[in-house]
Structure 1
Amino acid sequence: MHTFYVSDPIHPDVLDELNTLGQVHLGYGENAVPYALISDQVDAVLLRAERFDREKIQASPRLRIIARHGVGSDNVDISAATEAGVFVTVTPGSNSRAVAEHVFALLLALARKVPYGAWETAAGRWDEAKANMNGFELHGKTLGLLGFGNIARMVLSIAQGFGMKALVHDPFVEPSVIGAAGALPASRDEVLAESDVVSLHLPLTEETTQLINADTLAAMRPGSVLINTSRGGLIDEPALVAALTGGHLAAAALDVVQGESVDMKNPLPHSGLPIGGLPNLIVTPHVGGQSSEAFLAAGTGALAAIRQVLAGEHPAHALNTVPAPAYK
């Protein structure tokens, strides 16, 4: 019988199917099982937010695959997995639409001051809320996209429906492709200086770490808005707070924070963001990809990869190559 470990909640249909393949241990809920207690039994891990480091991998002699529920792999030590003969897979495209729509959920909330208005109204301060909720419309505004992968292209499509113009910077995409999508290719500096809204769609690499810092924030158009649904490490958070409190930026919305690099399940104490004290900052708990449709798609893709590896096949969307002799 195969043994599986699921780190965080997944779609119930996927969990039901996984239960037909063997014994499933959950890393969440009332009956959560610490991975260390079962590491010597686990054949496959279906992973969301939990960090999977070298120590966990080396303590897992039966492990064949770490199937990521989503597209990111920041929380997996891929080098250690490869050395141990363990595949690491992702589910590209499974949550792109959900994240793109979340960008606009955040943007509209900022533009029309929805959280402030809802809170003040609930507290009985109708008149005060009404007097302070002059927002702005998206129509005619310029959206700047840093990065132009699947999610950014969906964001562009939605923006066009609002009548927004768009500038795009991505050195790995041909300008003709950007132009054909209905946007203007631009340098990074042009995107920052000329956009009313800047949305980040970048991987976290050595080159992109704290790409948004005191200097690049100062280069942004005064009164503009910043949105990050990619990775928290892209932004120097103290510099962002200074730009918000100083009035250079009108607002910002983050679905990811730096503290996730320390503790993905409880990152806020490690971020130090004054969330409650900044009315022009919205932070959501990395839920951009958490729609019912995306959960089912990501879970189904991860389960398919697990099935392939258990059958002795090379899984789809593997981030590493494991030689045949390394199969257990």
Structure 2
Amino acid sequence: MTTPFILVSDCDLPGTVIEDTLRSAGLHAERAASPASDDLATLGADATGLVVQWAPITAEVLDRMPNLRIISRVGIGYDMIDVEAATARGIAVANTPSYCIEEVAAHTIAMIMTQARGLPAYDRAVRAGTWKAVDARPLAVRPSTTTVSVLGFGRIGSIVARGCRALGFRVLVADPYAPADGIRSAGCEPVEIPDAVAQADILTLHVPLTEATRHLIDAESIATMKPGAVVVNTCRGPLVDERALADALRSGHLGAAALDVFDGEPLADGSPLRDLDQVLLSPHAAWFSPEALADLPVHAAENVIRFLAGESVPIVNPAYAG
């Protein structure tokens, strides 16, 4: 019996945990020399499984991997994979949705509270010799009089919503796939996306990146937001039109933003977001803790192992077998 071959397209995490985990399960595993499509297609011509972090997995790449049965994403999002093409070719696509739920939710709430209490501005002022409590910028809110709108009520969004509610915020939730009763049971109010955006003092994003959600927050939607509102994004950079966001911050229509993810990463040196004091930036780090770092590559490899053993894995395209 031929040992299944698993190709690792790319991974910027330290070590060889993915390959080691696959090999310990009796699979043959190799990492590609580069994530270039030709390298992947050449080495992966006989691959049964593919583990991918950032490499674009297009229909053309899939056509050159005729034996492929499973793609496992090293991470939660999977917008670098042409899922429709994989489904059409009978290839399952799995992600790793549980490795950093606590971390991203905590990072999001930290960003919300940092901006809600004007901490960066206070810090700069104290360091500059100014001692003035009533000069908070952009905000110094009372939670009970402040509305947090959460777009997406999945694993992370639901924790953020409950956490904000526990702190006393009024919380609106917009998620067409979440039962309204479940949102209400968390002490939150179910609304449609335009209402959530328009009523938000603080808007936080927790939706998958699709063609429908790309630039969900654009100039048109920002124009409906309250003057001084704050945008928080720890999900996917392209959910926000960064140029429109920067324009709204410069004009003063929006009060602040807190961003962990960007349309292009690393954030470009020339990005206007770098020069705006009211923007809090982190380097796509919301996922990180030592525990999450250890879990992520193992989870990605175990998806392949369990799938080939006929066990349940977090498949994002259940129609692949249809």
Alignment match of 1:134 (pick from 125, 131, 136) = 136
Q: Pick closer, same or farther for the CA change 1:303–1:273 going to 2, 3 Å.
A: same
The 3 A distance-change label for structure 1 pair 57 and 151 is same
CA distance in 1, matches of 2:193, 2:111: 23
Matched, 1:317 2:310: no
Describe how 1:221-260 pairs up with structure 2 within 5 A: 221-259=226-264
> Where does residue 263 of structure 1 map in the other structure?
none
- AA aligned opposite 1:82: T
User: 2:165 touches 2:188 (CA, 8 Å); kept in 1?
Assistant: no
Deviates more, 1:200-209 or 1:143-152: 200-209
Give yes or no for contact 1:11–1:296 (8 Å, CA) kept in 2: no
Which whole-Å CA distance do the structure 2 matches of 1:272 and 1:42 have between them? Answer: 41
| Paired residues of 2:9 and 2:34 also in contact (CA < 8 A) | no
Deviation at 1:65, TM superposition (A): 1.8
Where structure 1 has 5 or more consecutive residues not aligned to the other structure, the ranges are: 260-265
State the TM-score, normalizing by the size of structure 1: 0.79
Whether the 8 Å contact between 2:230 and 2:254 is mirrored in structure 1 is: yes
Pairing 1:63–2:65 present: no
Percent of aligned positions with the same letter in both sequences?
A: 31
Gaps of 5+ in 2: none
> Quick one: distance in 1 between partners of 2:27 and 2:235?
34
- Cα distance change, pair 108–164 in 1 and its aligned pair in 2 (3 A): same
Q: Tell me how far apart the structure 1 counterparts of residues 314 and 165 of structure 2 sit (CA, whole Å).
A: 31
Aligned residue pairs, count: 308
- State whether structure 2 residue 61 is matched by structure 1 residue 18: no
Q: Distance between the aligned counterparts of 1:162 and 1:42, measured in 2?
A: 49
Provide the aligned C-alpha RMSD in A: 3.2
CA distance in 1, matches of 2:34, 2:9: 10
Query: How big is each residue's C-alpha offset from its partner over 1:129-176, in whole Å with a ceiling of 9 and x where there is no partner?
Result: 756973525633321112222211100222133222212222333332
Taking the aligned partners of 2:286 and 2:221, their CA distance within structure 1 comes to 25
Query: What SS does the aligned partner of 1:268 have?
Result: coil
| Paired residue secondary structure (2:128) | helix
Taking a change above 3 Å as real, the CA distance of residues 14 and 127 of structure 1, as seen in their structure-2 partners, is: same
1:276 and 2:274 are equivalent in the alignment: yes
Which range moved further: 12-21 or 98-107? 12-21
> 1:52 and 1:167, CA in 2 relative to 1: closer, same or farther beyond 3 A?
same
- AA paired with 1:79? E
Q: Which amino acid aligns with 1:201?
A: H
- With the length of structure 2 as denominator, give the TM-score of the two structures: 0.80
Is the CA contact 2:10–2:34 (under 8 Å) kept in the aligned structure 1?
no
SS in 1 for 2:171: strand
Residue in 1 aligned with 2:174? 169
Which structure 2 residues correspond to residues 113-132 of structure 1 after superposition, within 5 A? 113-114=118-119, 126-128=127-129
Deviations 1:99-144 (A, max 9, x none): 21121232233345555676x59xxx82347569735256333211
Which residue does 1:97 correspond to in 2? Answer: 102
The residue type equivalent to 1:182 in the other structure is G
